[in-house]
Structure 1
Amino acid sequence: MKIDGAAALVTGGGSGLGEATARALAAAGARVALLDFNLEAAAAVAAEIGGIAVKCDVASAASAEAAVAQAAAQHGPARILVNCAGIGPAKKILGKAGTMPLEDFARVIEVNLIGSFNMLRLFAASAAVLEPLESGERGVAINTASIAAYDGQIGQTAYAASKGGVVGLTLPAARELAANAIRVCTIAPGIFETAMLKGLPQAAQDSLGVAVPFPSRLGRPSEYASLVLHILGNEMLNGETIRLDGALRMAPK
């Protein structure tokens, strides 16, 4: 996929992995639309990289449809989608306060899994009617899962289930959209320097980093963004979920 000149959608673009991805795509010449529930954060990044910020609740059909239409009106139909929007609250099935409220589980599934599918379906509908590039491709979609999909910890039932769903939809989506010359891949990051982890004391961050076999540190958002660029440029990567975790396998807690 040729990045230079392509229109790109990045959900969760106002912070963390999404911000790093938006910056990397813009540096590579893409016209980037940062879709985020936090419009102020997205606007701050967009102003720095020459992109546009669009308010979007990925779990809402109406909100996502409006956001994709707004981005297309300014940048043209997108050939690149990177889904980074997500939430990850920790809560036990049976905790000291009782059972996990069903709505808490449902909200994580709505944002992380349904939100990813929601954006994928809208992106695919738009990209499928574009003229193929010289490579024959029309578009590339990259979702974000987590190593919690494989070794989720205590308190991560909702998060692990949502990310396991993202892993599960990757291959069938890639097989279906192959007929439209659209590739679909997923990245499953390990422990990365996101806003949530940066809020922890330095000692806690260091202890988490030491658990990673090599390199023994937290992952950097720029390393996630680098993999996004590689997936876009490598036409044979399709239907694959790639762990990006320094060989980390998480303990039960």
Structure 2
Amino acid sequence: MSLLSQLLTAVSDGRVEIVDLTAPLSERTPVLRLPEPFANTARFRLEEISRYDDRGPAWYWNDVVTGEHVGTHFDAPVHWVTGRDGEDVSQVPAARLVAPAVVLDASERAAADPGFLLEIDHVRDWEKAHGPLPDGGWLLYRTGWDARCGDEETFLNADETGSHTPGISAECARWLAEETPVIGLGVETVGTDAGGAHAFDPPFPCHAYFLGAGKYGLTQLQNLDRLPARGAVLVASPLPIVGGSGSPARVLALVER
């Protein structure tokens, strides 16, 4: 039996589970809002073309209006000024969209402190327990924030001082991007950076360091609690938008049970 036949058999008999890590995409999907004078992305919406009516009696279809960075989405290097000479989303090699993934669970810390920041020592402690970060793979950072995705106010968790969501310190972001073999960072929050990262040095360090290093980001993931600490295979499927800085994506994980 070929390797692919073995995989299909394992999926059909339940030995390999396919876990959907993608948040539903609708007009209610939370969207990052930037303060003035910065421009903001369009929210997701469907504009009906026809629905079994005079406009088209046998078919239903819509136009889609959305920003590249709405809902569960993929950040390509060109999204950030530090990666401006890097790949757009259409140029990301297909082989890099299927890769091993590990899950670092900081959900208890984030529950106690919405502004919790992952530090290098937290990652090193994880490695002592679970082994090294995967060469050519993804670090998926679980904070439990996906439980808030049904309500934009609690998901963005903002007040007059700004947004308060968990993330990664500037020092840790630089280390992960420049000194570890991972190809990308996946998070459950609206972006790869912490809510207060505008005040970090540099601002938005996950974007600055990861995309500047030619690596990638995935945001607004769900169901990371259903993945093992290591051993999953992640499949990311952004649209190959020519010149695109990113794309909404369907993100799946294959888990051996």
TM-score normalised per structure 1: 0.32
The higher relative CO (CA closer than 8 Å, separation ≥ 6) is in 2
Whose Rg is larger? 2
TM-score normalised per structure 2: 0.32
Higher strand share: 2
Higher helix share: 1
